[in-house]
Amino acid sequence: MRTYIVILLCMMGAWLPTQASSAHAEDESFNVKDIIFDHIGDAYEWHVTTIGDTHVSIPLPVIVYSRETGWHTFLSSHFHHGTEAYEGFHIATEGDYKGKVVETLSTGEVARPMIDISLTKIAVGILINSLLLVGIILGVSRWYKRREASDEAPRGFVGVMEMLIMMVYDGIIKPSVGKDYERYAPYLLTAFFFIFLSNLMGLVPIFPGGANVTGNIAITLVLAVCTFLAVNLFGTREYWREVLWPDVPMWMKCPLPLMPVIEIFGLFTKPFALTVRLLANIMAGHSVILALVCIIFVTHSMGGLLGGSMTVISVLFSIFMNCLELLVAFIQAYVFTMLSAVFIGMARVEHHKG
Amino acid sequence: MSLFTPDSGLLFWMILSFGVVFVVLAKWGFPVITRMVDDRKRYIDQSLEAAREANVKLEGIKAESEALVAEARNEQRRILKEAADTRDRIVGEARQQAQAEGARLLAEARTQIQHEKEAALRDIRRQTAELAVEVAEKIMRKQLADERQQMHLVERLLDEVERN
């Protein structure tokens, strides 16, 4: 039942921003690409819906540091949806910084502020997801703190969380990391639930959800770097020996360090693959769902009959895609965690003969 | 493409919030849960072990009681058998004794009868002898009533003596 609600909400959410666009579709051409990129990209305000010509959006704080005028903190509503400038700042509509806050310097030059740590839509998404995750996990752990081992097992939500946690713990972490797995379990579990929750929240179309958190490279990059650090900071001697002086014929490593170079390159390709895999999967999922919903508006501008029939097809496909995305939300979290665990396990090899 | 260039502001917020989430959950979140689940697993294992032991013990007790019952039954059977044996033996003995007694009595009676018989025979013989003597006396007296016959007898007797 909950799944249906999520799907329904996804449908609605996919509908809302595009409905806003459909109002414009009459006078300007319906730009599917812009809609999709607006959604999967970042923004300084959290657009909820558009009714008629009124944009309903939640203004978010802009925090910038200018070389000339220092710190500035104000709500993004001062930009009036990007149409006006405030305190010398405005949102660029074209160029390299399109969609970003830029400042007009005293020389008349337009440049990015030195530091821009505005709480953008995705940043707020991160914070909401983090708070939610901390709330859920601490809530669950509180249940355990109040009980003894001899009490009966949890039911309901805590039971589901326990099942998920133990699935990751026993199914991924224990077998993949091997010895000392307890040391890495908190990080891997945090990563799994952060990704899983963010993926799910990304599928929820209205306010607290809908931000494309795990489909943004900054987020996946940070996660992958964390894994990179966990792998390489605690690597054993044997691991580093295998990287720098692998068991290959001498000519492959002696005058020209061919294999060591490849191995060191491999150290960085692993987190890169983690970054791109998660990013691309989530971004692609969001894009496809949006594209399917956009079909409705594109075909409606072509004619009633075509539009009507395509609406049915589009809705059916969107439902299918949302189900698929629920699956992907879980699978990608699982894959990221499993690969991280496997990489950590590989870096913890002990010396072995043969 | 902006999609593939990480935004510094987002990096900042992500590092900050993920770091905080990680620290909080690593300290108060996941270890509590996993430790508890492990504890529960251990507790369940122990309970199972205890239950198994109790079962084994129960099985032992059952076997013991069964053995006890069987032993008691055997004992009962043995006692009954013994009693029957004893009874049979006593009866047999009594019978034997009775037979022996009977035989002894019979033998005694027989010897007594023999004695009696012998006594009777002796008696009869004596009486017969006395009768014979008496009869002979009477015959003699009748035959020796006259003198000639007495003389004749004396002479014959004398002849017999002479001949010897």
Burial class of residue B26 in the structure, from the number of CB atoms within 10 Å of its CB (0-12 exposed, 13-18 middle, 19+ buried): middle
CB contact under 8 A, A133 and B25: yes
Is some CB atom of chain B closer than 8 A to the CB atom of A226? yes
Angle at Cα A14 formed by Cα A13 and Cα A20, nearest 5°?
A: 90
Say whether A42 and B18 touch across the interface (CB within 8 A).
no
| Residues A291 and A148 occupy one common structural domain | yes
CB proximity A343 to B under 8 Å: no
A139 and A95 inside one domain: no
Residues 6+ apart with CB under 8 A from A259: A246, A248, A252, A253
Q: Give the chain A residue whose CA is nearest to the CA of B40.
A: A149
Whether A39 is in a domain gets the answer no
- Is the Cβ pair B2, A41 closer than 8 Å? yes
10 Å CB burial of residue B154 (0-12, 13-18, 19+) is: exposed
- Among A31, A63, A43, A219, smallest CA distance to A126 is for A219
What was the pLDDT predicted at A90?
85
A101 pairs with which residues across the strands?
A91
Q: How many angstroms away from the CA of A261 is the closest CA of chain B?
A: 26
Question: B28 and A190 in contact by Cβ < 8 A?
Answer: no
With contacts defined as CB-CB under 8 Å, which chain B residues touch A128? none
Please tell me the number of Cα atoms within 13 Å of A322 on its side-chain side: 27
Check A189 against B25: CB less than 8 A apart.
Answer: yes
CA distances A29 to A18, A26, A39, A120, A182, Å, are 13, 7, 18, 28, 56
- Residue A58: strand pairing partners: A46
- Among A99, A118, A137, identify where a domain stops: A118
pLDDT category at A7 given cuts 50, 70, 90 is low
In a domain, A289, yes or no: yes
Please check whether residue A31 lies inside any domain of the structure: no
Q: Are A344 and A230 in contact (CB under 8 A)?
A: yes
Contact A90, A110 (CB under 8 A): no
Strand order in the sheet with A89-91: A89-91, A101-104, A110-111
Alpha carbon distance A178, B51 (integer Å): 32
pLDDT at A16: 44
ipTM: 0.84
Segment B44-51 mean pLDDT: 94
Residue A14 included in any domain: no
Q: Which domain-ending residue is among A118, A138, A162? A: A118
Check CB contact under 8 Å for B12 and A117. Answer: yes
Nearest one of A88, A98, A80, A94 to A64, comparing CA atoms: A88
**Six-digit token string for A289:** 């769902």
CB contact under 8 A, B30 and A165: yes
Q: Using CA atoms, how far apart are residues A240 and A245, in angstroms rounded to an integer?
A: 8
* Same-domain status, A146 and A235: yes
Residue A130 and residue A110 share a domain: no
Same-domain status, A100 and A129? no
Number of domains in chain A: 2
Note the pLDDT of residue A101: 85
Distance CA A270, CA B163 (A): 173
Same domain, A329 and A301: yes
Residue ranges in chain A assigned as alpha helix (H) = 2-25, 32-40, 121-145, 156-168, 174-177, 181-203, 217-233, 237-244, 258-300, 304-346
Residues A70 and A139 in one domain: no
- Cβ-based contacts under 8 A for chains A and B: 129
Of the partner residues B12, B14, B26, the one whose CB lies closest to the CB of residue A190: B26
pLDDT tens for A263-312 read 899 999 999 999 999 999 999 999 999 888 888 888 888 877 888 888 89
d(CA B102, CA A289): 124
Same structural domain, A184 and A301: yes
Q: What is the pLDDT of residues A49-64, one digit of tens each?
A: 888 778 888 888 989 8
CA B25, B29, B31, B37 dihedral sign is negative
Which of B20, B24, B34 to mutate to test binding with chain A, by most A CBs within 10 Å of its CB? B34
**A214 — contact with chain B (CB < 8 Å)?**
no
- Angstroms from A72 CA to nearest CA on chain B: 14
Residue span of the structural domain in which A65 resides = 61-118
**pLDDT tens digit string along A124-171?**
999 999 999 999 999 999 998 888 888 888 889 999 999 999 999 999
Q: Is A179 in the same domain as A318?
A: yes
Length of chain A: 354
pLDDT digits (tens, 9 = 90+) for A57-109: 888 898 989 888 888 888 888 888 778 888 888 888 877 788 888 888 888 78
Nearest to A40 by CA among A297, A272, A279, A208: A279
Q: Does A23 fall in a domain?
A: no
Whether A36 is in a domain gets the answer: no
Residue A102: phi and psi, rounded to 5, are -125, 160
Q: What b/e string do you get for B124-134 counting C-beta neighbours within 10 Å, with b at 16 or more?
A: eeeeeeeeeee
Tens digits of residue pLDDT in A203-246:
988 888 888 899 989 999 999 999 999 999 988 888 888 888 88
* Closest Cβ–Cβ partner in B9, B24, B42 for A117: B9
**Count of alpha carbons within 13 Å of A17, Cβ hemisphere only?**
26
Q: Which two tokens stand for residue B19?
A: 């770091």
- Residue whose entry in the numeric block shows the structure tokens 């027989």: B110
pLDDT of the residue at A27: 39
Do residues A180 and A72 share a domain?
A: no
Distance CA A148, CA A158 (A): 15
Q: Is A128 on the interface with B (CB under 8 A)?
A: no
> Which of A98, A118, A138 corresponds to the end of one domain?
A118
**Structural domain contains residue A161:** yes
CB-nearest partner of A149 from B17, B29, B36: B36
Domain membership flag for residue A49: no
In this predicted structure, the answer to whether residue B151 has a pLDDT above a threshold of 70 is yes
A236 and A179 fall within a common domain:
yes
A30 secondary structure, DSSP code:
-
Taking contacts as CB-CB distances below 8 angstroms, the residues of chain A near B5 are: 217
Chain B residues close to A219, C-beta within 8 Å: 10, 14
Which residues on A lie below 8 Å from B48 (Cβ)? none
Same structural domain, A133 and A234? yes
